[in-house]
Structure 1
Amino acid sequence: MSTPYDRSIEELLALYRRQREEAVETRRRINEVTGTATAPRQAVKVTVGAQGEVTALEFPTGAYRRMAPKELADLLVSTIAEARADALDKVSDAVSPGLPEGVTVGGLLRGEADPLAFLPEDPAMPDQVRDYLDNGRPEGAPHL
């Protein structure tokens, strides 16, 4: 015979499994993210991965040949930054639905997110579990 206590535990385990599956799916989406930027006059095209690492560097035209080394270096740095921003936007789109209201990926990366937004002092849980935590195992509930 299933007790309200047993059903509450089963509901919590089901919730945990769903959250775990969602986390795995989010990680998969993040791993697939790439960001791309192309410099003016198509002098350079940069592709980066989700963590901002450069994965491809292309020179679609010969425009780079007419540039001074400093000018080309500056263009590379700014184009890489644009590609990273593009990747961050895409990661944010993948992760944001799972974040608490008001918490952004950028805020997390800059250390601006409040950890209490993720871990409230009084987490949501079924009444039976709350009662168990407050008062101990209900009489007649099976030992696990």
Structure 2
Amino acid sequence: MLSLTPWVERLNALPGPAVQLAADVEAAQNAKAQPSRMLVLGRDPVEHQDMSNGAKHKVTPQVLLVTGIARRNLPMGNTDDELAGLRGPPIGSLMNWIPPGCDSAIKWKGGQLLSLKSHALFWVDVFTTEYWWKENET
């Protein structure tokens, strides 16, 4: 199984708000402080290759980075982009990194608006990696 602890450690070495783990996307959107960055383990798609003595299973976990920023009115002409400033360093740090226990580098699959609430905007970036499930793992 994929452990997100090395991901949190890597991301917390970057400037900006501390990255925390969230149980699901809904919990990530309940962050009290803004800006916020939360990691959520997403889907675990599995493919298999038939072999003579069973099957070999390739797991491609999705990891979601939910970034939240406070909503506020900014004056016209303000070029500061808080969301881009919070998303850029983590994306750059994770792309092509191989987490412990994984067999391939992380791929960034893109991002999109997750929700726009009265107090905050939440954006989600999706990352994937791959590993082969080993029979002795529990």
Larger helix proportion of the pair: 1
Query: TM-score, structure 1 length as denominator?
Result: 0.30
Larger Rg: 1
Q: TM-score, normalised by structure 2?
A: 0.31
Q: Which of the pair is proportionally richer in strand?
A: 2
